[in-house]
Amino acid sequence: MELDYKAIGKRIKIARIKADITQEILAETINLSPTHLSNIENGTTRVSLTSIVKIANALSVTVDDLLCENVIKARVQFEKDIEALLKDCDEYEIRILKDMLEALKTTLRKDIHLREQQV
């Protein structure tokens, strides 16, 4: 299994921005160069497990928050992501998104035999 370093980097960047921390400050906090941290966030360099743990601790997030695209059983994290997406929606947007999700779920389950053939 190959890790998706671009997805990891994207999650690191999102967590850093939510924490209102610059790349320079985070890099200094975890003892990396700003260039190396930028490469991690862009997914152009592999990030070590030690660095992932340091980054998670510095940003007050879990390692799961940063790695969930690479973990098969990451339901809790994706549920948190969905909740965050809905947080600023008004009543109308919530209703439309619910309808879209129901339609998507129906389509996914209707064509489940196609998914099983691809595995």
User: Quick one: pLDDT at residue 80?
Assistant: 87
Say yes or no: 28 and 58 in one domain.
yes
- In a domain, residue 51? The reply is yes
Q: Supply the pTM of this predicted model.
A: 0.66
* Per-residue pLDDT, 119: 55
The torsion angle over the Cα atoms of residues 29, 35, 39 and 41, rounded to 10 degrees, is: 40
Are 21 and 52 in the same domain? yes
Consecutive 10-residue runs of the chain (119 residues): their mean pLDDT? 89 95 97 97 94 96 86 79 93 96 89 67
pLDDT of residue 112: 73
Residue 79 lies in a domain: no
Residues 62 and 102 in one domain: no
**pLDDT score of 55:** 97
If 0-12 CB within 10 Å is exposed, 13-18 middle and 19+ buried, where does residue 55 land?
Answer: buried
> What is the C-alpha to C-alpha distance for residues 26 and 34, in angstroms, rounded to an integer?
8
| 56 shares its domain with 102 | no
Residues 115 and 61 in one domain: no
- Sign for the CA dihedral angle at 3, 67, 47, 10 comes to positive
* 58 and 18 part of one domain: yes
Name the domain count of the chain: 2
Q: Provide the domain limits for residue 23.
A: 5-70
Q: Do the domain assignments include residue 82?
A: no
User: Which residues 6+ apart lie within 8 Å of 47 measured at CB?
Assistant: 5, 8, 9, 12, 40, 55
Question: Is 78 part of a structural domain of the chain?
Answer: no
